Structure 1
C-alpha cells in the first residue's frame, strides 16, 4: 500500500509560498475540502489529484509517496 507523505508535500507547498489550504486549492484546482482531508491524513489523493499536486509543485511523486506495509490479520 502507498500513502502520501504529507510532511514532504507541505515542504513543497511552503517552498512555493502556499501555506494555506486555500492557496493549495488555487494552485492545484483541487477542492479545498479534499485538500483539507488529504493534509489531515484522512484521505489519500486519487491519481488525478496526486498528479495535479506533483505538477503544481514541481515534485516527483516518488518523493512524496511512501510504501506502507499492509497488516495481515493472523
Structure 2
C-alpha cells in the first residue's frame, strides 16, 4: 500500500494567502471538520480522496500538490477513524461498525 500524507505546510501557506489562517477558517470554507484537519495537519491521518478534492477546489491546488508520497513519511498510519483515517470506520462488508458493546450476561 502506498504511504502518503497531506502536505500540510503547503495547505496552510496557501490557505493563509487567501485569508484562512487557522484550522477553524479552513473548516468553515471547506466543510471539513476541525478535528479531521488537525489529524491531517499532524500527519496522524491519511486524507480521503473526497477530502483532497474539497481542499483542491477550495484553494486552487492540484490533488498531487496536496499529497506527499514517500516510503518514509513517519509511522505507519492504521486504517479507521480513531486510528488515523479520516474516513468512517467500517465493519464487515463495508457496513458501519457499531460503537456499542454486545450485552453481557451474568
Q: TM-score, normalised by structure 2?
A: 0.61
Partner of 1:53: 55
The aligned counterpart of 2:66 is 64
Question: Greater share of helix residues, 1 or 2?
Answer: 1
Q: Which runs of 5+ in 1 are unaligned?
A: none
Kindly name which structure, 1 or 2, has the bigger radius of gyration based on alpha carbons: 2
Kindly report the root-mean-square deviation, in angstroms, between the aligned alpha carbons of the 2 structures: 1.3
User: After superposition, what is the alpha-carbon deviation per residue over 1:20-54, rounded to whole angstroms, capped at 9, x for unaligned?
Assistant: 11100010000111111111211121110111011
Q: Considering Cα pairs closer than 8 Å and 6+ residues apart, tell me whether 1 or 2 has the greater RCO.
A: 1
TM, length-normalised to structure 1: 0.84
For the residues of structure 2 that align with 1:38 and 1:67, how far apart are their CA atoms?
A: 14
The runs of 4+ residues in structure 1 deviating greater than 3 Å are: none
